[in-house]
Amino acid sequence: MADPTLRRLILAVALAVVPCLPAMAANDAPQKTAEALSRKALTDDWSYKFLESLTSEIGPRLGGTEAEWRAADWAVARLKAAGMTVHTESFPMTAWLRGVETAAIVKPAPQRLVLTALGGSVATPPGGIEAEAVIFRTYGDLLAVPPGSLNGKIAVVTERMVRTVDGMGYGLANPIRRQGASEAARRGAIAYLHRSLGTDNHRLAHAGALNYTDGVPKIPAAALAGPDADQLERLSALGPVIVHVTLTPTTDDSAHSITVVGEIKGREKPDEVVLIGAHLDSWDLGTGAIDDGAGDAIVSGVGRLIAALPQHPKRTVRIVLFGAEEMDFSDKAYETAHVGEVSKIVVAGETDFGARRVYEMRLPAGAVNSPFGKMIAGLLPPLGVLLVPEAPRHGGSDIQDIGADGVPVVALSQNGLDYFDIHHTADDTFDKVDPAELAQNVSVWAALTYLVAETDVDFRALAKATAKP
Amino acid sequence: MADPTLRRLILAVALAVVPCLPAMAANDAPQKTAEALSRKALTDDWSYKFLESLTSEIGPRLGGTEAEWRAADWAVARLKAAGMTVHTESFPMTAWLRGVETAAIVKPAPQRLVLTALGGSVATPPGGIEAEAVIFRTYGDLLAVPPGSLNGKIAVVTERMVRTVDGMGYGLANPIRRQGASEAARRGAIAYLHRSLGTDNHRLAHAGALNYTDGVPKIPAAALAGPDADQLERLSALGPVIVHVTLTPTTDDSAHSITVVGEIKGREKPDEVVLIGAHLDSWDLGTGAIDDGAGDAIVSGVGRLIAALPQHPKRTVRIVLFGAEEMDFSDKAYETAHVGEVSKIVVAGETDFGARRVYEMRLPAGAVNSPFGKMIAGLLPPLGVLLVPEAPRHGGSDIQDIGADGVPVVALSQNGLDYFDIHHTADDTFDKVDPAELAQNVSVWAALTYLVAETDVDFRALAKATAKP
């Protein structure tokens, strides 16, 4: 510390780096504090380390299992340490537990097939099912065949989902996974396989839940890795293909899941709630880094930054780490528990689309041209985010039920071009996350969350005013 | 066919497309025929379809197993149909058969680990081995600890191999897989794991053979997927990590492998042999598309093009599809069977580095500046291939023993930047191969092989002349 040049340099850096956050928060406009929070987030690695710890020290955390409960304990401690008031909300669920999952082509060319059982699938007999595979190159081709035409067969849909930046390809392909098993069963099939809903070509299958249709026999169902679907296509073009599939999942009707909630109580209007969330559970094949540990890290990081302000914002900020989203329980459970409080939730937002950069913000109808919209718009250009006029199509799966009950929703669109290369596979691990991109997400969410909490913006009123002729 | 413009167009295209190959082969210089062959190969999909069929209708084909023998039968039929005289050469070997391979972190955070047993590894007890993992971030760190220091532990080397265009990163990292188990055992370890020799970050482990050192206890050994090695690194930094590993491979000492040979007998010097080869066996996890179905497709495609010429070249062209390369038997078996014939092999070349474009050709010492070198150099610019002055470092694993016996070797360098993303994993499937890049390989090998077979180039004499002071 003897070199005066070095001393001057350190002083200059210190002056530049410390943006007098406390003073600004106390005295300056909300926009200034939001901007300072946003800047601070960009060079803060807390969320990245949060994600590293969650994905390593907890790892996979399937909803309704002991691993998810360990994740909840872990999250409670983290949110408390980050300055939030924390509680948990437990709810009952049926857990689904993966068993053995193996498959092979038996004829004409014996070889292993890579697949994974769909969440909720019933089991095959312990020795598996062996039958001829009938290949449909599109889901529509399956729907076009009559009842009885697949009696005793294994139906296989090899349609590819399409890569898009916004996940639309996944949304439109979803019935292949969700309804395919029941549609195949209606036509007589004894098992159902489909090409994974994914955009990669790795020998890793993409998990995901199905929905059986009432009144239709439940048949075992699994997703094939992309190259394995290719292989079945090629061989079936040459002659009959016999496939053997063994899936032995089990269920537990008396399980429960846990949602973890961290709050920063509003200093003026504690009953008005700004809710941002992500889901804490993950599929069991990977360690849930992009789905949705990244979301947990982002919203928790926002909560920590806001809790560290010298004074809380006017409204309550609520960070929700939902349980059992992948098992389709999180939204209904949250709505059921909070049905009396819906009108007090000023806005809800969710991040559940990985850790790539945010490129677009969508506010509830009528908000973009309001003073609030102008305020947030001023913060976005340095972050590379566009405020677009359209309201969100939806808020996200965890908040869809409260959204349907009238809670206004915001959405930040992330670059999802490679999200479905990894989504729901064993490849969903920490190494796939870029720390700078993760930090940009925290930055944008922090600015937005703080501004809503510190101002009087009333999204319901803005929407109503807009809806007028 | 009524439109005269269309008729003219078709005529023009036909004239452009048919380069009168027969006439040229009979009457023109070797260079012209080589050029015509090379052009023809670029738009020919025979090799691509060969590869599609091999990887689908045979699939994985581990050396010394029934799958490899099916591949041999299949190859015999293909080479015959392509106009070659075909025979097989069987040789005894010890087969190694993969069993169960599972692993998990038991403490502190229970989760599955993705790994694959190394070829040749002994088995764990059926119930597996459970012990503390000791992590070494470099192989050198393992070598630096004294005997006894790993007593009762599982040694884990997490060193990453480096991505290079020419595979040098793999070559230099090879001792980690080849010798690591014995080096760990010398120090008391009861099992050995290492980060897969690969450049990807997928949850797919890279197989490969090991070599136990005589006099050192044989311990079970496996390769971890990259992200799983990361996970062990992270958790071990926090405290002790207990790992459970189960590997149950078996061996069969009375197995055999089959090498398939297709020949185009030389019209003037049938005893002089131009040998090009690839290996027919593959690791069992994938379907052996880039390793080495692509090589089989390339050399077989060259054989087919040369066999289809109106007259055979002066020298014999020999296409060799080696058995059991991955198990380290192919080179010695071939040398043993052909020891009396080594002096008649004019040159040998091998393609076993995937299906990416060739960018560089290396001829035996002294050949580049010879008339032969100038002839081949004239053909390469349109193919994007550089003829470099250096002789090959080696010919390839299948021909290393005959190379050591004095057979001159040629080498075509392929772009290997992403080869080790896939090499020896379940991901080695047909979809990873680009047909245009595969065709370029056939094109370059066809030109080179034909020219050597049709001219009197004597690489041994050229090397001797160059070696003089």
- Please write the tens of the pLDDT for every residue from A35-47: 999 999 999 999 9
Q: Given B109, B203, B427, which is nearest A59 (Cβ)? A: B109
The CA dihedral of A336, A341, A344, A350, to the nearest 10 degrees, is -20
Confidence of residue A469 (pLDDT cuts 50, 70, 90): low
* pLDDT in single tens digits along all 469 residues of chain B: 344 444 444 444 444 444 444 444 444 589 999 999 999 999 999 999 999 999 999 999 999 999 999 999 999 999 999 999 999 999 999 999 999 999 999 999 999 999 999 999 999 999 999 999 999 999 999 999 999 999 999 999 999 999 999 999 999 999 999 999 999 999 999 999 999 999 999 999 999 999 999 999 999 999 999 999 999 999 999 999 999 999 999 999 999 999 999 999 999 999 999 999 999 999 999 999 999 999 999 999 999 999 999 999 999 999 999 999 999 999 999 999 999 999 999 999 999 999 999 999 999 999 999 999 999 999 999 999 999 999 998 778 999 999 999 999 999 999 999 999 999 999 999 999 999 999 999 999 999 999 999 999 999 999 999 886 5
Is the pLDDT confidence value at A236 over 80?
Answer: yes
ipTM of the complex: 0.90
pTM comes to 0.91
Give the closest-approach CA distance of A110 to chain B in angstroms. 8
Residue of A nearest to B234 (CA): A56
Average pLDDT of the residues of chain A: 94
Count of Cβ atoms closer than 10 Å to residue A245 Cβ: 25
Q: For chains A and B, what is the number of CB pairs under 8 angstroms?
A: 89
Residue A388 exposed, middle or buried by CB count within 10 Å (0-12, 13-18, 19+):
middle
Asked if B11 is an interface residue toward chain A (Cβ–Cβ < 8 A), one would say: no
* Of residues B244, B258, B278, B209, the one with CA closest to residue B65: B258
Handedness of CA B362, B365, B371, B374 (dihedral sign): positive
Q: How far apart are the first and last CA of chain B?
A: 69
Instruction: Tell me the H-state helices in B292-422.
Output: 294-307, 330-337, 371-377, 400-404, 419-422
Any idea which residue has 């020799």 for tokens? Answer: B197
Q: How far is CA A423 from CA A167, A181, A416, A444, in A?
A: 11, 21, 10, 23
Q: Please check the confidence at residue A172 and state whether its pLDDT lies above 50.
A: yes
pLDDT band at A12 (very low <50, low <70, confident <90, very high): very low
Bond before B28 cis per omega within 30 degrees:
no
Residue A2: band (very low, low, confident or very high) from pLDDT cuts 50, 70, 90? very low
| B233 Cβ under 8 Å from any chain A Cβ | no
Rounded distance, CA A374 to CA A365, Å?
A: 14
Element (H, E) at A168: helix A168-178
Q: In this structure, what token pair is assigned to residue A346? A: 């000023």
Cis peptide preceding B427, ω within 30 of 0: no
Tell me the residue type at B168.
Answer: M
pLDDT band, residue A356 (cuts 50/70/90): very high
What is the rounded CA–CA span in Å between residue A116 and residue A193?
Answer: 9
Categorize the per-residue pLDDT at A105 as very low, low, confident or very high, splitting at 50, 70 and 90. very high
Contact B56 A287 (CB under 8 A): no
In this model, does residue A142 exceed pLDDT 60? Answer: yes
Does residue A25 surpass a pLDDT of 80? no
**Model confidence at A26, in pLDDT bands (50, 70, 90)?**
very low
CA B110 to chain centroid? 38
Inter-chain CB proximity A430 and B227 less than 8 Å: yes
3-state secondary structure of A65: coil
CA of A95, closest CA in chain B: separation in Å? 18
